[in-house]
Each structure stands twice: as structure tokens, then as C-alpha cells.
Chain A
């Protein structure tokens, strides 16, 4: 019986190196008993397999990559010469809005924080742009959509063919999982559509293949969504900045680690700073060099 032991995450300056276990899919690890108390505390809140210190280091590294220059520099816009200022005279005078915008020293981060605070307080988004005016329009639109959806659903319930319509709407295609993403009211209105439009229910189109004789292997193309659904989708307001960010990948592939010196697979880990290296050659170079711990942590993951 072999035993897998996790390398301690402590950052005390222990000399030497150790093989780094591949985390992620390792089933032996899933069965491992709960590790020490300290690790539990460090991992609290993150839920992942990395400590909060590592998470911070990664965040800092990504922020580094987002910079325009390595150092902070102030590059002032050159002062306009009088001649050009004179040329500007033909234009209308600078309005207060323009002056406010030009003098604003806010960064994107500031604006984003403002926006998120506004969303949290319920007045964010474009609707909140002009107070109740915009919001009421949106709310009104939402109500009317809801009302229509409800009505359509009611007719659906009364009509004789709900079961068949609903059945036709959910083909046995392999893409079934994706329907779950469409929100419930959307699905409802979609189902109600044929009745509301007084059209015959659309038949799913058979995708031609050599297996069509086998009822289990037949696959149908999902029907094209009706126009009204599309209009409604097009009329939706944009998502917020944070909501539109891509989510973590669905496939739980374990993370890859690279050698901090040469970029090859990182197979062993320095015990003092968690940087990975590929071989003892690279490890020795790493040991001799004095690379900052910050960068080391970020790259080790």
C-alpha cells in the first residue's frame, strides 16, 4: 500500500526540493484524510486547492500583466499652444460636462467600483442612469413581458396540444444540457409561442445520417426559435461588466505547472518558495539566484 503525502505549504526557508504531486484528478488524494488544521484555515473561503496567499500572488501577477509600463509614469498631455487654442475658438465653448470629464482623474477601477456599488444598491445599469425615468420604462417593459408570457402560458394550458408541443421542443439531441441555461420564463414563453402565434407546431428536422433506421440513434435538429423570442432576446439590456466575464472552464483538467527557469514542465518544487523547476540543473540555478518571493509564488502555481 503506498501513501501519498502532500508537500507542506509552509514558506519557512527549508532548504532542498521535493517532487510535486500533480493535483486535481488524483483519486488517492480525494480519499486522503483531512489534512492539518492550519491548511483548513488557509484555504477557508477560497474553496479551491490553493491557499489564499497563492491566490493573492496570482491576482497580483495578473494585475502586473495588465500594466502598460513596468513603472508608474506620469505622461502629461502637452500644453496646447495659443495658436491652436485660437483655432479652437471656432468651436462651441467647453461645456461643464466636458470640463468635468476632462478633469476626472478616475481610473477604470474607480468607475467599476462605483458601478458595482450602484448595482448593489439597486440603481445600477443603464436604467439607473436617469433615476426613476429610465427604471420605470424598464420595469414597465418587464411587466408587459411577464403579463404576455403569463397569458400565453394560460392559453397553452387550455389548448389541447401542450404535451406534444413541449415534447417537440425538447429534442433528444445531445445538446439537452444547454437548454438548462435559458431562464425559466424564457422557456415558458418559448413553449407558448406556437399557440400565441396561431402557427402549426413546428416539427423538429431530422438530421440525416446512416443511423436513421435505429430510433435510438436518430437525432433531430432543435427548431429555430420563433421571431418573437428573438425580438425579446435582442431587447435585453446588457449584462454588467463583471457578469460578462468568462466563467472557469467546465472540464476539470488539472492545472499545468512549468519550470520557472526554462519553461519546461515543472516537476519538482523548491521547498522554501514553492517555485517549480524541471530538473536539478534548473533547481540549482534557481537556488543561486535571488528571485523575489512574490513573483515566485505567482509562477509556482
Chain B
């Protein structure tokens, strides 16, 4: 703190003296990092008007340090080399959606973006000269100011980027081409620069939490931002807990259970009906595999180098296995471990819609959307309800969109049109929006600070600058 004070200039420049526009140098090259808790999405923004191919310029790097069963520590992109995920332990720099531990985050960033030479493999995400690069970094809404300050200080002092913009992740989605997504007529601004959507309600359901952000002309309406402290991590852990109690002990198998979750989970559009059905098919004793809610998941076997997979439930498998080779099963089938997943498939993602199922006193996503709108002028409600965009990994759970649209339709005012859409690529949508913002140089320079400005005014100023107070 003392050092920061000493570095900070006397109070006068902190008051709104706008730096002269001509003297500002914002590097042309723009690097966008969407620093997710689970996965970092990073890459250069291309200058050509963004298209579908620009997603290929984006690299997804796991945001974690992992200790594998054989006590090896693996970082970030190296995780792709890990074969044996049994008992893998994770350390994540991001807690509750915000970067808290910069010691770990620096390791991952250094290894991913700064270490070594430019090679064909890391060409897309290697930053050779930070001084000549503008960084667009996303953060989750309602971050603690102290954590924002840490991020600014790390970016500007540890790596020394030439330009820097810290943006609310969800707001960047408004820069994407969303008119076609909602089936609106394209505005005839094909030649003009890229502009954000007027009204967009972004539901971002990620690894650590789910947020609702009303975005008006590319800026968040802060009073309407709401957060549900449930995300993909909680779903995985909940599934892990249930399975551990009912079948095998999987408490140390976060990675494997995450894969199981991604393979089998879905959001039910008829919860009690599905529950009945799952219950009945558990009771049935028919022969052979059957179609239904209940599935078998064959756990991965790293020794045989086999990945996990799903197949229809075979109620007699257990009995057959007991009989051993007599039943005519091959040794391969006899050696495999199978999880039987029935109602777990939909009761787990159900938490996002009914957090009360684990006793949590919080509204589900549709209710949260209305809570967010309730503090905004009524004139905007219809505009936001007609433009609900869902991003984040949980949007990929089958049935999620249908359920959200149905429930929102039920509780929203009858006069309003409700349109809920999933971004074309919900995981990379925020990153893509960042690149489109970067293509609009004028807007980008409005929200950025330069290295010079940072050195002149200090990090306290930077935090207030990004909050729009200076």
C-alpha cells in the first residue's frame, strides 16, 4: 500500500483531466483474454471484420494447475498431454469467478503466452512484445475493487502491456452479430463500423456462477446485475456426491465426473414426469438394453487406454457379470466399471433452475432475470425480454434453452415477447465479442488506458477509470 501511495501522483491529476487525445498511443495489435475459471479463451483480434473463422484464432487453455496421480504437476495447456485423470487434483487461480491467486495465474499466463519462442503451435496465443500489444481482459461482474486493482497492477507492472482494457465479460457479447441470431432484419450498416446491440440481456452460466447482466448499448446497467452462486463446478460436485453415495466412491474424481456430467446430464422440461419414468424403469426387470432415461456410463480405463462412454442401460448386466465368463461376456466387458445414471441425469442441472433443491435460498435463473428487470425502468422490460442471450458452458446442457424460455414465458408479463437464444458458440461468444470490440478502434480507445497513463496516474486511478468514475 505504501509503495502504491508513493507511486501515485499528487491528487490533482486524478481529477478528470482528460489526456490529450493525440498523445495517446494505443498499440494496434490487440490480444483478447477471456479469463474463465475453467478455461482461458485467448487470442489475437484480427482486423478484418470478424467472421466465423475468427473463432479458430482463439485458443482454449485450461486455467488450472493439476497434480496427477503420479505426483506430476501439470500446467495450463500441458493438460492435453495427461492420459490418466484418476485422482487428479486441481488448483485454480480463479475463485468464485474472480482471479484471486495471481501466483498460480502468473504461472499459467507465463507458460501460455510469454514463455519460449513463437512456434507454429503457440503462434495464436504467444505475446512476444507486451509493450506493443493492447490487452482486453474480461472480468466477472461485481468484482471486489481490491481484486480489480490486483489485476490492473499485474497486467501493467508484471507484463507491461502497452494498452489495457478491463471489461465486464457479459457486456462484450453485445458486440457480436446477434441480429441474425434473433432473426431480426439486418440493419443496413454493413459498411459502418461495428456497433453493440441496443438492448441485450446476457445470461452467463459458467463454471463458478451464473450471472444476469442487462447490457444497454454495450454498457452494463449495473443496478440490474444479479448473480446465482451456482455454476458448472457445483453441478459436477453434486453429481459426484450423489454417485459416491449411491454407487462408487468418486469423491476424488472431479475430472471424470465432469466428463460424465457433460455426457449424460440434461435439463428436464417435465421434472416430475421424468422422475416417475426414471423410477419406473429402475423397477422394471426386462431383459436386454432398453431406450429410456436410465443410461450406463462406462468409466475410463487409463491402463487399457480407453475413454469413458455412454450406452443404453442393461438391467441384467450386473447379474450377468456375477455369473462371470459363463454368461458369455468377454473379459473386456467383465473388467469395466459402469455407473448407472437415472434421475441423476436431470436432478443435477435442475439446481440451476431450482436452487431450493439443495436448500439454497436463492431464485433460479428465470426468477433471477425478473429480479434483474424489476429495478430497471419498465419501458425497457420488453426490449430486454425479447433479447435474452445465453452464453457460458452450461448453455450447452441439452434442454437448458427450452426450459429457460418456457419458464421465463410463464412468469414474464403477457404483453412482452420473450425470445431466448443461445449464442452460436456459447463458450467463445464473450471472447469473440471482445475481438469485435477491438475492431472498432474508436470505441476501444474510449475504454482503454495506455501504459503511459497508468505510469502517470497509478493503479487507483485505473480502477476508477474502468469503473467509469474518471
Contacts and interface: CB of A to CB of B under 8 A. Distances in A.
B254 interface: yes
B233 interface: yes
A246 B254 contact: no
Contacts of B251: 70
A114 B464 contact: no
A198 B347 CA distance: 56
Given A68-B90, A102-B102, A244-B227, A178 B381 contact: yes
Interface residues of A, number: 104
A66 B354 CA distance: 17
Contacts, number: 288
A263 B342 contact: yes
Interface in A53-110: 54, 58, 61-62, 64-71, 73, 75-78, 84, 87, 91-92, 94-98, 100-104, 106-108
Given A126-B464, A181-B374, A77 B103 contact: yes
A250 interface: yes
Contacts of B403: none
Nearest to B104: A77
A73 B223 contact: no
B261 interface: no
Given A58-B360, A245-B229, A246-B228, A258 B107 contact: no
Given A66-B233, A66-B234, A237-B222, A224 B415 contact: no
B329 interface: no
Interface string A174-188: 110111011000000
Interface in B425-470: 459-461, 463-464, 467-470
B464 A134 contact: yes
A180 B368 CA distance: 17
Contacts of B104: 77
A265 B273 CA distance: 12
A20 interface: no
Given A77-B107, A238-B225, A97 B3 contact: yes
B145 interface: yes
B334 interface: no
A111 B370 CA distance: 30
Contacts of A8: none
B89 A181 contact: no
Contacts of A4: none
A104 B49 CA distance: 42
B183 interface: no
Nearest to A127: B469
Contacts of B464: 126, 129-130, 134, 137
Contacts of B282: 262
A36 interface: no
A61 B160 contact: no
Contacts of B375: 181-182
A256 B103 CA distance: 42
B3 A62 contact: no
A272 interface: no
Interface size class of B (residues with CB under 8 A): 35 or more
A130 B107 CA distance: 30
Contacts of A62: 229, 234, 358-360
Contacts of B219: 234
Contacts of B222: 236-239
Contacts of B159: 91
Interface stretch (A9-17, A147-155, A157-165, A215-223): A215-223
B95 A107 contact: yes
B344 A263 contact: yes
A137 B361 CA distance: 37
Interface string B348-378: 0000001011111111100110110111111
A174 B414 contact: yes
Interface string A193-207: 000000000000001
Contact of A223 (B107, B160, B364, B379): B379
Nearest to B244: A70
Contacts of A114: 146
A73 B14 contact: no
B343 A264 contact: yes
Interface in A276-301: 278, 291, 295, 298, 301
A253 B407 CA distance: 14
Interface in B94-109: 95-96, 98, 100, 102-104, 106-107
B106 A249 contact: no
A261 B237 CA distance: 17
Contact of B153 (A101, A128, A256): A101
Residue of B73, B238, B279 with most chain A CB atoms under a 10 A cut-off: B279
Contact of A234 (B3, B221, B228, B342): B221
A182 B141 CA distance: 21
Contact of A115 (B145, B245, B459): B145
B469 A247 contact: no
Interface string B399-415: 00000000000010111
Contacts of B344: 263
Contact of A175 (B234, B279, B381, B459): B381
Contacts of A251: 367, 411
A174 to B, nearest CB: 5
A95 B3 CA distance: 9
B144 interface: yes
A102 B347 CA distance: 40
Contacts of B339: none
Contacts of A137: 15-16, 464, 469-470
- 3 closest A-B pairs (Cβ-Cβ)? A58-B359, A130-B460, A75-B91
10 contacts: A61-B358, A62-B358, A97-B459, A106-B100, A108-B95, A111-B147, A129-B460, A178-B378, A239-B142, A250-B370
Given A58-B360, A134-B14, 4 more contacts: A115-B145, A246-B363, A295-B245, A298-B358
Interface of B: 3-4, 7-8, 11, 14-16, 65-67, 73, 75, 89-92, 95-96, 98, 100, 102-104, 106-107, 115, 141-150, 153-154, 157-160, 216, 219, 221-223, 225-229, 233-234, 237-238, 241-242, 245-246, 251-252, 254, 275, 278-279, 282, 342-344, 347, 354, 356-364, 367-368, 370-371, 373-383, 411, 413-415, 459-461, 463-464, 467-470
